Homo-oligomer: A and B are copies of this chain.
């Protein structure tokens, strides 16, 4: 089984991705983002995101009720259903779902961010959290009947409330509970770049050891991404490919060797 994670950038060629997907052998499932769409919608609605800086100097988006509304409209609504539509047009019997639906992805709400405001230390708790369990029974039921699950945020917290979560963590959680041979991540770059500014610096193959060495050397958002990749590989049980989602036949190309292959 293959899981394909489609990035939320605007340069991803969704039509090319889904057309190519229709030529692959089943079963597969999709997880997708929609961050550019979300930011643009939030701006048009005047509901721009709040970024908090914690006492430890870490910045993060504060997910309030408005932010969840915008996630529901952009991720669960527009992006999810347009992907499902593209699938249906190509003969893939897609079913779009969020982590809320059938408690497909059950999370644990974050405890809060410690911030300093007007000389006081406050704990601000938002609607975000980490995925802790996947309803594999529902996913398997759909896959066995020939459906292609198309997953996105929000996920459910312990009490069933909608919360925001990181797609990387959701993919890692699914990979730990379903027998995935391959996880293919389609992004807006040719793959993992040695120099993020230089598209010709593609790292074509990376061993798990090299991935761990790189993770130890970097800081910030990229460190989190590399850590998620390490977890995803599960000590080599799952092949991970990072490839370009902006090209023609992106899946066929990646399976034939394009992009970065980690194993």
Contact = CB atoms under 8 A, between A and B. Distances in A.
B69 A98 contact: no
A76 interface: yes
Interface in A6-64: 41, 44-45
Interface footprint category on A: 35 or more
Contacts of A97: 95-96, 101
Contacts of A95: 97, 101-102, 138
Contacts of A88: 100, 103, 156, 160-161
Contacts of A145: 137-138, 141
A93 B84 CA distance: 22
A156 B145 CA distance: 19
Interface string A97-115: 1101111000000000000
A191 interface: no
A33 to B, nearest CB: 15
Contacts of A124: none
A78 B89 contact: no
Contacts of A90: 160
Interface of A: 41, 44-45, 69, 72-78, 80-82, 84-85, 87-91, 93-98, 100-103, 137-138, 141, 145, 147, 154, 156, 159-162
A93 B103 contact: yes
A96 B99 CA distance: 11
Given A93-B102, A96-B98, A100-B96, A77 B73 contact: yes
A102 B69 CA distance: 25
Contact of A94 (B73, B85, B101): B101
A76 B73 CA distance: 8
A162 B83 CA distance: 11
A41 B69 CA distance: 12
Contacts of A80: 76-77
15 contacts: A69-B78, A73-B74, A73-B77, A74-B77, A76-B77, A81-B154, A84-B100, A85-B156, A85-B160, A88-B100, A88-B161, A89-B159, A94-B100, A95-B97, A137-B145
